[in-house]
Amino acid sequence: MTTTESYDLLVIGSGPGGYVCAIRAAQLGMKVACIEKEERLGGTCLNVGCIPSKALLESSHHYHRLTHEFESHGITASHPKINVPKMLERKDSVVKSITEGVEFLLKKNKITPIKGVGSFLSETEVKIFDGKNTKTVTAKKIVIATGSKPVELPFAPFDHQIVIDSTDALRLSSVPKHLVIVGAGVIGLELGSVWSRLGAKVTVIEFQDRILGQTDKKSALQMKKLLEKQGFEFKLSSAVKKIETLKTSAIVTFETLHKSETVTADKVLVAVGRKANTDGLDLQKAGIALNERGQVDVGENYATAKPHIFAIGDVIKGPMLAHKASDEGIALAEYLAGKYSHVNYRAIPSIVYTSPELASVGLTEEECKAKGIKIKTGEFYFKANGRAKAMGEEDGFVRMIADALTDKLLGVHIVGANASELIAEIVVAFEYGASAEDIARSIHAHPTLAESLKEAALAVDNRAIHS
Determine the Cα–Cα distance for residues 444 and 160; give it in Å rounded to an integer. Answer: 48
Second-level CATH architecture of 347-460: 2-Layer Sandwich (3.30)
- Cβ-based neighbours of 227, under 8 Å, separated by 6 or more: 189, 193, 211, 234, 354
Given a contact cutoff of 8 angstroms between Cβ atoms, the answer to whether 429 and 419 are in contact is no
Tell me the CATH number of domain 163-272, given options 3.30.300.30, 3.30.1390.10, 3.30.9.10, 3.50.50.60: 3.50.50.60
Backbone phi, psi, residue 141, to 5°: -135, 145
The pLDDT tens digits along the chain (467 residues) read 456 789 999 999 999 999 999 999 999 999 999 999 999 999 999 999 999 999 999 999 999 999 999 999 999 988 899 999 999 999 999 999 999 999 999 999 999 999 999 999 999 999 999 999 999 999 999 999 999 999 999 999 999 999 999 999 999 999 999 999 999 999 999 999 999 999 999 999 999 999 999 999 999 999 999 999 999 999 999 999 999 999 999 999 999 988 999 999 999 999 999 999 999 999 999 999 999 999 999 999 999 999 999 999 999 999 999 999 999 999 999 999 999 989 999 999 999 999 999 999 999 999 999 999 999 999 999 999 999 999 999 999 999 999 999 999 999 999 999 999 999 999 999 999 999 999 999 999 999 999 999 999 999 999 999 99
User: Distance between the two ends of the chain, CA-based, in angstroms?
Assistant: 72
Residue 375 pairs in a beta bridge with: 403
Determine the Cα–Cα distance for residues 2 and 281; give it in Å rounded to an integer. Answer: 19
Q: Which residue, 314, 420, 335, is CA-closest to 15?
A: 314
Angle at CA 352, nearest 5°, toward 172 and 69? 75
Bridge pairing between strands 148-150 and 163-164: unpaired
The secondary element (H helix, E strand) that includes residue 269 is strand 267-270
Q: Which residue, 260, 312, 309, is CA-closest to 282?
A: 309
The secondary element (H helix, E strand) that includes residue 165 is none
Bridge pairing between strands 260-265 and 163-164: unpaired
pLDDT tens, 275-296? 999 999 999 999 999 999 999 9
**Domain 163-272 shares a fold with domain 347-460:** no
Q: Which residue, 412, 415, 405, is CA-closest to 440?
A: 412
Q: What local confidence, expressed as pLDDT, does residue 4 receive?
A: 76
CB count in 10 Å sphere of residue 214: 12
pLDDT tens, 332-386? 999 999 999 899 999 999 999 999 999 999 999 999 999 999 999 999 999 999 9
Q: What local confidence, expressed as pLDDT, does residue 308 receive?
A: 97
Determine the Cα–Cα distance for residues 248 and 29; give it in Å rounded to an integer. Answer: 55
Determine the Cα–Cα distance for residues 38 and 196; give it in Å rounded to an integer. Answer: 30
Collapsing DSSP to helix, strand or coil, 159 comes out as coil
Q: What local confidence, expressed as pLDDT, does residue 343 receive?
A: 96
Q: Which residue, 325, 399, 417, is CA-closest to 362?
A: 399
- Cβ-based neighbours of 402, under 8 Å, separated by 6 or more: 375, 376, 377, 378, 408, 409, 410, 435, 436, 460
Q: Is 275 exposed, middle or buried (0-12, 13-18, 19+ CB in 10 A)?
A: middle
Which of the residues 61, 62, 446, 466 is marked catalytic?
446
- Cβ-based neighbours of 421, under 8 Å, separated by 6 or more: none
Residue 446 is among the residues annotated as catalytic for this protein: yes
C-alpha of 10 from chain center: 26
- Cβ-based neighbours of 321, under 8 Å, separated by 6 or more: 348, 350
The full set of domain ranges for the chain reads 2-149+275-343, 163-272, 347-460
Collapsing DSSP to helix, strand or coil, 9 comes out as strand
Fold of 2-149+275-343: FAD/NAD(P)-binding domain (3.50.50)
Compute the 3-state secondary structure of the chain and give helix, strand, coil in percent, each to the nearest 5. Answer: 35, 25, 40
CB count in 10 Å sphere of residue 62: 14
